């Protein structure tokens, strides 16, 4: 059975990438902009679940595992990771009195039917329904667009509307251009609106947080109305949300200089920012 403490097994089970990168290094490579990454940081820090989606054409090296692992640095302090064992997963951790769902992220290498070490069907449906029990999930999928992610979750895996709404962030990434080395971009970043739309109570509404513009290779960011909605959904005071976001933008700007900060420097900077925020609280 899978032992996540063993580096070889984490690589064999596709939990580790060949070339690990930090978010600062991903920004330095221009795969995403500082503002988008800072917003994702703030959402993950407040318990949002995460899906990283890559192309349906199984292009090797697109970066789903690298991106997912990099973003784990932004999880709340004292977060516990529960590694899933693909189609062999029995969810025994959900029956343990020692595990607090509120501080636990269930990590799945991939939701797909490609390999037994991934999750699909009944097992994947149970996994993706864990947020109803208070857990958070982080995984990757093969999907070219946010609509394809929704279709996979709702039609292929038969998740209920409320279950999909609890899945938080969806980042669609991919390769651009035909030159080597390949350039990676976060094409879209969405957040599932957690509350039903009164006009469409059965609709799943993906709220756009960031969209890549292929004309000038820039990112179009969410407007103030969306940021206000995010603050409300995360229960962060509206006056505090922009300040918290700016602190993370400033932090990532500094960390992404040159080729970008490594993992240890990232952890230290994140811990330092959180400590300063805690000290400033009344």
Q: In the chain, where are the structural domains located?
A: 7-280
CA–CA separation, 147 and 58 (whole Å): 18
Instruction: List CB contacts of 214: < 8 A, sequence separation 6 or more.
Output: 176
- Could you tell me which of 231, 219, 240 has the C-alpha nearest to residue 46? 231
CB 23 within 8 A of CB 37: yes
- Could you tell me which of 100, 104, 53, 109 has the C-alpha nearest to residue 82? 104
Task: Compute, in degrees rounded to 10, the torsion defined by CA atoms 219, 225, 229, 234.
Answer: 60
Distances (CA, A) of 214 to 78, 109, 122, 176, 191: 38, 29, 38, 9, 21
Which option is the CATH number for 7-280: 3.40.50.300, 3.30.565.10, 3.60.20.10, 3.40.50.1000?
Answer: 3.40.50.300
Query: What pLDDT does residue 221 have?
Result: 94
pTM: 0.95
Residues of the chain with pLDDT under 50: none
CA–CA separation, 57 and 18 (whole Å): 20
CA–CA separation, 69 and 57 (whole Å): 21
CA–CA separation, 209 and 223 (whole Å): 8
Task: Compute, in degrees rounded to 10, the torsion defined by CA atoms 250, 251, 256, 260.
Answer: 170
Query: What pLDDT does residue 246 have?
Result: 97
Query: What pLDDT does residue 61 have?
Result: 64
Query: What pLDDT does residue 57 have?
Result: 73
Query: What pLDDT does residue 280 have?
Result: 84
Query: What pLDDT does residue 15 have?
Result: 87
Backbone angles phi, psi at 82, to 5 degrees: -110, 110
Distances (CA, A) of 39 to 181, 230, 244: 28, 10, 9
Query: What pLDDT does residue 281 have?
Result: 79
C-alpha R_g of the chain = 18
Query: What pLDDT does residue 58 have?
Result: 62
CA–CA separation, 117 and 196 (whole Å): 34
Query: What pLDDT does residue 178 have?
Result: 73
CA–CA separation, 35 and 190 (whole Å): 14
Query: What pLDDT does residue 208 have?
Result: 97
Cα angle: 172, vertex 41, 74; to 5 degrees: 105
């Amino acid at each position: 059975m899978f032992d996540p403490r063993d580096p070889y097994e984490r690589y064999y089970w596709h939990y580790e990438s060949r070339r690990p990168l930090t978010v600062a290094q991903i920004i330095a490579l221009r795969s995403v902009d500082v503002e988008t990454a800072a917003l994702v940081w703030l959402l993950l820090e407040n318990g949002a679940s995460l899906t990283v989606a890559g192309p349906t054409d199984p292009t090797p090296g697109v970066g789903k595992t690298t991106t997912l692992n990099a973003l784990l640095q932004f999880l709340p302090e004292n977060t516990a990771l529960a590694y899933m064992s693909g189609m062999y997963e029995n969810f025994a951790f959900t029956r343990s009195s020692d595990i607090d769902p509120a501080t636990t992220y269930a990590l799945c290498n991939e939701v797909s039917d490609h390999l037994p070490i991934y999750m699909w069907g009944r097992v994947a449906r149970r996994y993706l329904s864990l947020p109803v029990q208070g857990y958070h999930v982080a995984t990757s999928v093969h999907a070219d667009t946010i609509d394809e992610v929704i279709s996979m979750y709702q039609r292929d895996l038969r998740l209920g509307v409320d279950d999909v709404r609890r899945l938080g962030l969806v980042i669609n990434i991919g390769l651009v251009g035909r030159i080597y080395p390949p350039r990676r971009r976060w094409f879209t970043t969405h957040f599932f609106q957690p509350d039903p739309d009164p006009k469409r109570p059965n609709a799943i509404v993906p709220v756009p947080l960031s969209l890549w513009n292929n004309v000038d290779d820039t990112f179009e960011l969410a407007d103030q109305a969306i940021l206000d909605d995010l603050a409300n959904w995360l229960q962060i005071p509206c006056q505090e949300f922009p300040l918290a976001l700016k602190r993370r933008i400033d932090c990532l700007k500094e960390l992404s200089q040159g080729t970008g900060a490594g993992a240890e420097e990232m952890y230290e900077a994140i811990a330092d920012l959180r400590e300063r925020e805690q000290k400033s609280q009344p």
